[in-house]
Amino acid sequence: MTDSSTSGVTLLSVLRLRDFRLFLTGRFLGTLGTQIQSVAVGWQVYEITRSPLALGFVGLAQFLPMVILLLPAGDIADRVDRRIVIAASYFLQAVSVALLIVLTWTGTGAHSIWPFYLVLAIFGTARAFSGPALRAFVPLLVSKEQLPRGIAISSSSFQIAVIVGPALGGFIYIWGPLAAYGTCLVFFLGVAVSFIAIRTHHKQQPIDPTLTAFGRLTAGIAYIRDKPIILGAISLDLFAVLLGGATALLPIYASDILHVGPQGLGVLRSAPAIGAVLINFLLIAMPLQRYTGLIMFACVAVFGVATVVFGLSENFLLSMAALLVMGASDMVSVYVRSTLIPLATPPEKLGRVSAVDLLFISASNELGEFESGVMAGWLGTVPSVVVGGLGTIGIVALWMWLFPALRKVDRLMDVKPDPS
């Protein structure tokens, strides 16, 4: 399974890189804080409103500023030192969580839910700027040969934080939302310090005098439009997770269907990441060598089947198993897409292409949460999850027909960028 072009690259050779370790530390703390905040906000909002639609608006509040700002953020990530962009973004996230502390401490949120949405919009603004810079950072720290393992290690760090974060958030919530938000504040400030300490500087790209400001902003869209394997990969993830994502409805499952409380909610939110990190460890040891495109499509179909099983389950252990499979299958898609994009994109466009990729991911996650809340309000919680899972399976079949180039991708390391 190991590609001969990467056989000389080991886990230790990548981890010996000082700046890569600082990057891992920062990304881990940032993801940990985001997951803890997500559990606390989700439980607090549902406890106040008892409304699935209110949970949907939690995702929408974070998504809207990202839609507006991600393309400018991608341009900034290509032209400004990415360390500084990320550090400033996480400082703004620290400000947003400090505002959640104020809302909770003063009791404002107990009387009106809209202040929570306004604060989450600030949080979404910060994530819009950190996202493209983070996703374009690993290629600065490792060689091309180290890139597949570097991305797999980074993904493992991310997934471990996604495992630990929700469970830790549910546990900390025993002492109330203030304890959870205070922990997030410390973590977000820690991320800013980690990235300031990185010595590797982003080589800032000169402005192309032939491009207008609008042309710079949309360069990533133009490149992706003309690169079917990238367009197919990121749009597959968009529609599969948009339809099949059930994360926003987990507070309802934990409270009203499985009856496991906030601690059970934390465990449920951790389950997909447990499956993902187990698969990711396998990918670190044995990177995909052959039939990459077909494997990606098969795993997204498995994600849809597992979503249907989760939607129908009323047993906590079966629900956990379904979420584990969802996370494991989704991780393969994430790994392929995250490796394919840097390999298929010229370095001078990677920030802007990453911004478009992140826009698609945000649409599938945050907008997917809104879609899940709306569908649950219309159809009911269980039918909305089941219909979404079936829709994901249908998307896989359609995308295999629409994007044959992606289906035929064999070895990842053979993928090359088009000429600029």
Residue carrying structure tokens 């989760």: 310
Which of 40-44, 162-166, 227-231 has the weakest average pLDDT?
162-166
Residue 34 pLDDT: 93
- What is the CATH classification number for the domain harbouring 62? 1.20.1250.20
Q: Which residues contact 363 (CB under 8 A, 6 or more apart)?
A: 63, 67, 238, 242
3-state DSSP assignment of residue 417: coil
Q: Is residue 116 part of a domain?
A: yes
Q: Is residue 355 part of a domain?
A: yes
Span 282-320, pLDDT tens digits: 887 777 778 888 999 999 999 999 999 999 999 999 999
Longest dimension (CA), the chain: 61
Q: 418 or 251, which is more confident? A: 251
At 309, list the tokens. 């099983």
DSSP-assigned letter for residue 349: G
Neighbours of 309 (CB within 10 A): 18
Q: Is residue 204 part of a domain?
A: no
Round to whole Å and give the CA distance between 416 and 229.
Answer: 11
Span 405-420, pLDDT tens digits: 888 888 877 777 765 5
Q: Is residue 18 part of a domain?
A: yes
Q: 75 or 362, which is more confident? A: 75
Confidence label for 245 from pLDDT (cuts 50, 70 and 90): low
- What is the average per-residue pLDDT within 79-106? 92
Q: Tell me which H or E stretch contains 176.
A: none
Residue 356 pLDDT: 78
The number of distinct structural domains making up the chain is: 1
Q: Is residue 206 part of a domain?
A: no
Q: Is residue 280 part of a domain?
A: yes
- Reference 208, options 217, 221, 199; nearest CA is 217
Round to whole Å and give the CA distance between 125 and 62.
Answer: 7
Residue 3 pLDDT: 45
Round to whole Å and give the CA distance between 321 and 388.
Answer: 18
Boundaries of domain holding 400: 4-199+213-414
Q: Is residue 419 part of a domain?
A: no
Q: Is residue 19 part of a domain?
A: yes
Q: Which amino acid is at 183?
A: T
